[in-house]
Homo-oligomer: A and B are copies of this chain.
């Protein structure tokens, strides 16, 4: 039981001497060539860009799905993530906390920035994701699902109180945010906590950070096995007497999907999902506001971050 997706040992051989392989072999070579050019020229791009650019090179893809899967092949082949090949996702998470980084990108060589520079946070884009760590006053990372809660935690000085770097994931954590948290764990030894809504969707935000997603199972630097889900747990809804709503049809379907998912078979997760199933209750981060705006930093988080 690894708790994450692991690729089986299957191999594929592609060769120009087999005419059936010619098309996909060409696509793979072209993609590797583009990655090399992007790195050399210090430019970055997106999955969508590459799909369009292929056409002007006379390389045909049926649709973007096909070009995306070739990129996954190149990742697996080289053992690096597509971000290291300068192919970036659209989504941006935001970060705030006492961490000083040094940028490396063109025009910003050796520029130093402390990530408390803006009280609204700094975007985790391609430049920040590849920056060096210079200095860190924080001792942990808290990843936060909602923007309202992220702003609340900054205002309540949670970063000082808990010596924490705060990351706003805005729902499912974008790959760059997961990779950045992975680096904070690996290079600086900071434990990672995940603070979401108390519903199957929140649980899965945590799970993807902990165990990775199925379609990035070949990328190790997106998995943080000892990251901890600190709630809102289904058991918290009772323990903290939070206002709740009843599951709707979509919530039930999502819960049953999770129960069948191999990543959710550990005792901790099975218990939590069972509690969801027994009660059919969900509760948001914002529900903590029923006890006032400071309750989350004065009561909830101190009991969770231990």
Contact = CB atoms under 8 A, between A and B. Distances in A.
Interface of A: 42-46, 48-49, 51-53, 55-56, 88-92, 94, 103, 105-108, 113, 117-128, 146-148, 151-152, 155, 157, 168, 170, 243, 284, 286-287, 289-293
Nearest to A126: B151
A92 B120 contact: yes
A113 to B, nearest CB: 6
Taken together, the copies of this chain in the complex come to: 2
A38 to B, nearest CB: 9
Contact of A146 (B55, B90, B118): B90
Question: Which of A108, A157, A290 counts the most B-chain CB atoms under 10 A from its CB?
Answer: A290
A76 to B, nearest CB: 23
A139 to B, nearest CB: 20
Contact of A117 (B113, B120, B124): B113
A39 B124 CA distance: 30
Contact of A289 (B52, B92, B128, B293): B52
B90 A92 contact: no
B122 A46 contact: no
A151 B113 contact: no
A290 B53 contact: yes
Contact of A105 (B44, B89, B119): B119
B243 A286 contact: no
Contacts of A46: 147-148, 286
A127 B118 contact: yes
Contacts of A126: 120, 151
B94 A123 contact: yes
A148 B45 contact: yes
Contact of A43 (B92, B124, B155, B290): B155
Contacts of A152: 44-45, 49
A108 B103 contact: no
B90 A44 contact: no
A48 B103 contact: no
Contact of A122 (B43, B90, B118): B118
21 contacts: A42-B155, A44-B151, A44-B155, A45-B293, A46-B148, A48-B284, A48-B286, A52-B243, A53-B292, A55-B243, A56-B291, A88-B148, A90-B146, A92-B121, A92-B170, A118-B118, A120-B124, A120-B126, A120-B127, A123-B123, A125-B151
Contacts of A113: 117-118
